[in-house]
Structure 1
């Protein structure tokens, strides 16, 4: 069972079964507290594991794949705060805060902090009373979260108040790191600092093949490696490499290699 409650950008998610669902393109900064269970987050290079009590700041304009695990008969549960750009711009203007530089990291684990623990504990009674929580009250709690983040580490202003769009980066390196993420080409183009047309043109110059065809071949090659060398199951691999359904994965795999993935 999956239960998600959204109080104007303050969310509680509860999963009684392991879930690989979750947003892969992070559009806004977020602050999350793991109430129970475990969460694995993969940013294309590193797998992070977060446990009960951990508080995590996630940076916008990044690709993250989440896997949420119930643990010891407890569901996976997390409370998350969405820190949208209009709110952050208003806060930065009011407090005269400016980001001095961009930040490359996608995820930041905050050490145990009495103030942050008390903050999230205070949010728990809110859920189940959706009609009693106003937009104005939710915004007050979001502003409180910003203050707590900056109290924890003032340098997080370079994360929260960096409002520039992604700049042009090395396309080949980016694609080889993020090919497993099943997101539209337009989002991949945006994250590399390109329009979709420029992305396709640059891609053709580097790889001599269309992005969609390259992505499928790259994902299938990775799937073959995981099946043969890591002894993973077909039912695990298709999501790991960025396919939406197992049936599509099996069809494409047999088309490329001449055999079913289950026979590897």
Structure 2
């Protein structure tokens, strides 16, 4: 059973069974406290595991895949606070804080901090009440102050309001092809319009993005099935397919055999 409560961007999630939450295009900065269970996060380069008591800050305009697991007979539970851009812009203007440089990392595990942990503990009773937006906004601003107290360099993360600049498309795609997100989001993250993204892509790869993505994912799936002995039910999400049936059909169409027979 899954349970989610959202108080205007202060959220509580609880999963009694493991949850592969699908692909995440993170549109706003956020902070999560793992109350119980474990969470795996993959940013295209590295897999991270966060456990009970960990506090994780994640950056906007990033691709991250989350998997949440119950552990030690406890359900997975987390409390998260989403720091939307309008709130951060208001805070920046009020406090006269600006970013000096963009931070490239997508995930930050905070060092133990009694103040921030206490902040999240104090949020637990909130989910038994209806909270108004003004009170929620004040609570979010309190968290921003605590984050800057914890690490002054987070100013560069929180108050950077620019959009992604144009980056190397070939390198980005070879790292992020298994994230199942719309082409428009891939285009945005590479600093391009959708039309420019498609045009640049075909110049580099000599094929369309959708065709290249499917072939790349199927080749990776074959490797995982044949060399790593993984199961189809685990592979299809790992390589970026939405459903097992679509994956099985595409795999058999390419390799002439169903993935369960590899």
TM-score range, shorter chain: over 0.9
Give unpaired runs (5+ residues) of structure 1: none
Partners of 2:154 and 2:113 lie apart in 1 by 16
Question: 1:249 Cα deviation (Å)?
Answer: 0.1
1:108 lines up with 2:80 in the alignment: no
Partners of 2:189 and 2:4 lie apart in 1 by 28
Corresponding position of 1:14:
14
**Structure 1 pair 222/23, CA: closer, same or farther in 2 (3 Å)?**
closer
Corresponding position of 1:4:
4
**Structure 1 pair 221/23, CA: closer, same or farther in 2 (3 Å)?**
closer
1:214 is matched with which residue: 194, 212, 215? 212
The CA RMSD over aligned residues, in Å, is 0.7
Corresponding position of 2:99:
99
| 1:78-136 Cα distance to aligned partner (Å, 9 max, x none) | 0000000000000011111010111110000001111011000000011121x2x1101
Question: 1:24 Cα deviation (Å)?
Answer: 0.9
* Superposition TM-score, scaled by structure 1 size: 0.98
Q: Within 5 A, what are the aligned runs for 1:225-244?
A: 225-244=223-242
1:137 lines up with 2:132 in the alignment: no
Corresponding position of 2:81:
81
Question: 1:23 Cα deviation (Å)?
Answer: 5.2
Corresponding position of 1:162:
160
Corresponding position of 2:47:
47
| 1:29-50 Cα distance to aligned partner (Å, 9 max, x none) | 0011000000000000000100
| 1:234-261 Cα distance to aligned partner (Å, 9 max, x none) | 0000000000000000000000000010
| 1:154-185 Cα distance to aligned partner (Å, 9 max, x none) | 00011000000000000000000000100000
Partners of 1:224 and 1:157 lie apart in 2 by 44
| 1:130-151 Cα distance to aligned partner (Å, 9 max, x none) | x2x1101111110011011100
Partners of 2:22 and 2:77 lie apart in 1 by 13
Between the two proteins, the alignment pairs up a number of residues equal to 262
Partners of 1:84 and 1:16 lie apart in 2 by 29
Partners of 2:145 and 2:176 lie apart in 1 by 33
* Superposition TM-score, scaled by structure 2 size: 0.99
Give unpaired runs (5+ residues) of structure 2: none
Partners of 2:11 and 2:255 lie apart in 1 by 44
